[in-house]
Chains A and B, each alone.
Chain A
Amino acid sequence: MASYLLRRLVLTLPVLAGIVVITFLLTRLSGDPTDLMLPPNATDEAREAFRSVNGLDRPLWEQFVVFAGRALMGDFGASLRFQQPAMGLVVERLPATIELAFATMALALVVGIPAGVVSAYHRGSATDTSIRTVMLLGQAVPSFFLGVLGIIVFAVWLRWLPTGGRGSLAQLVLPATTLAFNLVALIARVTRSCMLDVLKQDYVRTARAKGVWEARVVWLHALRNAFIPVLTVIGLQFGLLLGGVVVTETIFSWPGVGRLAIQAIYARDFPVVQAVVFVFAVAFVLVNLVVDLLYAALDPRISYK
């Protein structure tokens, strides 16, 4: 188990290295940040000075060697725009993103899994149809529309919730609900199809034949099995949430990594973009590792050696 973990962690290193190289090259493809950072009437001397200070006048390979060497130490350089360490800017925003990700996922699981189970158990009934209709809406309605709708209804008309910002629990409600709506639909749909499959299995019939009460058959015997494939979806989605959710963070002025990323991209703030992408990659890799470990915990047929 420990050796498996170590091996997995070592294997992530080439992945992360590859990501560092690709982001470095892609950001360089996007053009020269000097034009964006300096006013249009800046002198050529000022432009040269800016390039020289930020190392943009060096050959590409030299820039990369310097960047990679520092990145190994965790130093992703200073933001061109804020003149602060890029990694510091990302880490500063990380708690907000993590908070939103956990709140969203918790909400999505609490609603999505029971909805999927009930829908599968009462397949073909009116309950199933109504749940599936809501799920279809959930998957079809984009979050920017839902977010704005939520602000209009709950913040502007009813004045129950603030329109944005971060700090209080009330401020978390709208962005988390907006994000969770799509996710509930996805999780419920996957749960439903897995449950439909599991409920047909012989061991479910065995449980009934033993005299296990129906609720226990469904929520323990069946769901414990159906949850294993659902976990894959949860892991993937959680990785995406940790990457920050640009649209929702922007709508609700949520000070997360997603908003930082989009601002950095627009500004060609290379160091920040590189730091953000690196953090995304690490988060994604870690979430995947945790999911794989959870598989082994949930399914005794899977063991890692």
Chain B
Amino acid sequence: MTPALDASVQVRSAPPVLSVRNLHAHLHLGDTVVRAVDGVSFDLPAGATLSIVGESGCGKSMTALAILGLLPQPAGRITEGEVWLDGVGDLARLDQRALRRVRGNAVSMVFQDPMTSLNPVFRVGWQIAEAIRMHETVSREEARRRAIELLELVGIPSPSVRCDAFPHQLSGGMRQRVMIAIALARRPKVMLADEPTTALDVTIQAQVLRLMKRLQQDSGAALLLITHDLGVVAQMAQRVCVMYAGVIVEESAVGDLFADPLHPYTRGLLASMPKPRHGAARQALISIPGTVPPLSRLPAGCRFAGRCAHVFSKCREAEPPLVPVAGDLGPGARKVRCWLHVGSEAA
């Protein structure tokens, strides 16, 4: 289990807008319990971008869904932990009625696949207007006018015409812009984006990322960006959490992570990025050997031990805590969950 140490060491200068503490979200499928999120803590400062990066199945999407109380039902539930939203309270303890007032309002979400995330039978303008009308009493005309403004804001040409389009009449990139317009409709404090560009063409990815970055800076919303793409992290985020098998294994400023990855898993991730090299011979892609342990049957010690090149006996005995790297206790502290980096005092 994750030691309480995780939460206590962080020194905070300004209160974060979203503060996740020791979050556990489990999926109960028959008799097996999938520990999709298994003790995750992080702070999202107002107006900042924090990225959660990891491979599929590491629990990063479930973390976002758990924050909004949207875990798949009836299997998913938050079993432990807190999700503090500035000005609202602990989202993990709100009932569905109270959560509904938060969703799409103070916290909104952009999903991975724009092809399936919009309702095919409603006009996109209506779907944006609905996001407004669920939280404030405005006339249909007013809601529509604001929907058109939002479409313009996300860079959709001739917004007053596109407002009446159905999702299937728009391209993937356009649809993701509509999703972003929906997410921005109520000027949220926090936007959660779950792989917002993964399903898009590479050229469109860059456009959508630039758009999200600009809108986030203009609106002052904090962005929790979930991705498996370290390139996206580098472009968008100030801080990054690397997630592996339901836990955060490394947390750091983005620059530090790229310059000096500490956790063997992070190193593996960075090494497996394709690198364009001028003049050099083409290299085979490096991959991390082995696979993620099933989240329903996690090993006793370090979750990465089975794939780690630096594994030693302690790794198989006990799970390392997520602790600040020696001496660094400031708000920008680097933290790593690895016995290689635990000083004698923590061990």
**A225 contacts the other chain (Cβ, under 8 Å)?**
yes
In the complex, what distance in Å separates the CA atom of A208 from the CA atom of B134? 11
For residue A214, which residue of chain B has the nearest CB? B96
Interface residues of chain A: helix, strand, loop or mixed (majority): helix
In the complex, what distance in Å separates the CA atom of A216 from the CA atom of B137? 17
Number of interface residues of B (CB under 8 A): 30
Contacts of B119 in A (CB 8 A): 203, 206-207, 221, 224-225
CB neighbors of B among A82-137 (8 A): 124
14 A–B pairs (Cβ distance < 8 Å), ordered by A: A203-B117, A205-B70, A206-B117, A208-B70, A209-B68, A209-B70, A209-B104, A210-B134, A211-B135, A214-B96, A224-B121, A224-B122, A301-B120, A301-B166
Q: Are A225 and B103 in contact (CB under 8 A)?
A: no
Binding site for B on A (CB under 8 A): 124, 201-203, 205-214, 221, 224-225, 298-301
Q: Are A211 and B111 in contact (CB under 8 A)?
A: no
Q: Are B111 and A225 in contact (CB under 8 A)?
A: no
Given A213-B100, A299-B121: A202 and B113 interface contact (C-beta under 8 Å): yes
In the complex, what distance in Å separates the CA atom of A195 from the CA atom of B342? 52
For residue B108, which residue of chain A has the nearest CB? A209
Given A210-B131, A213-B134, A301-B166, 17 other A-B contacts at CB below 8 A?
A124-B74, A202-B111, A202-B116, A203-B116, A203-B118, A203-B120, A206-B117, A206-B118, A206-B182, A208-B70, A208-B103, A209-B70, A209-B109, A211-B101, A211-B102, A211-B134, A225-B121
CB neighbors of A among B161-213 (8 A): 166, 168, 179, 182, 185
In the complex, what distance in Å separates the CA atom of A203 from the CA atom of B103? 15
Contacts of A205 in B (CB 8 A): 70, 111, 117
**B90 contacts the other chain (Cβ, under 8 Å)?**
no
Binding site for A on B (CB under 8 A): 68, 70, 74, 96, 100-105, 108-109, 111, 113, 116-122, 130-131, 134-135, 166, 168, 179, 182, 185
Contacts of B113 in A (CB 8 A): 202
Partner of A206, one of B101, B111, B134: B111
In the complex, what distance in Å separates the CA atom of A300 from the CA atom of B166? 7
Q: Are A211 and B120 in contact (CB under 8 A)?
A: no
Contacts of B168 in A (CB 8 A): 300-301
For residue A209, which residue of chain B has the nearest CB? B109
Contacts of B105 in A (CB 8 A): 211
Q: How far apart are B172's CB and chain A's nearest CB, in angstroms?
A: 13
Q: How far apart are B82's CB and chain A's nearest CB, in angstroms?
A: 21
For residue A222, which residue of chain B has the nearest CB? B119
Most buried by A among B68, B100, B179: B100
In the complex, what distance in Å separates the CA atom of A279 from the CA atom of B135? 54
In the complex, what distance in Å separates the CA atom of A10 from the CA atom of B100? 52
Contacts of B116 in A (CB 8 A): 201-203
In the complex, what distance in Å separates the CA atom of A212 from the CA atom of B108? 12
Given A205-B111, A300-B166: A211 and B121 interface contact (C-beta under 8 Å): no
In the complex, what distance in Å separates the CA atom of A211 from the CA atom of B68? 10
Q: How far apart are B193's CB and chain A's nearest CB, in angstroms?
A: 12
In the complex, what distance in Å separates the CA atom of A225 from the CA atom of B122? 10
For residue A206, which residue of chain B has the nearest CB? B117
For residue A203, which residue of chain B has the nearest CB? B119
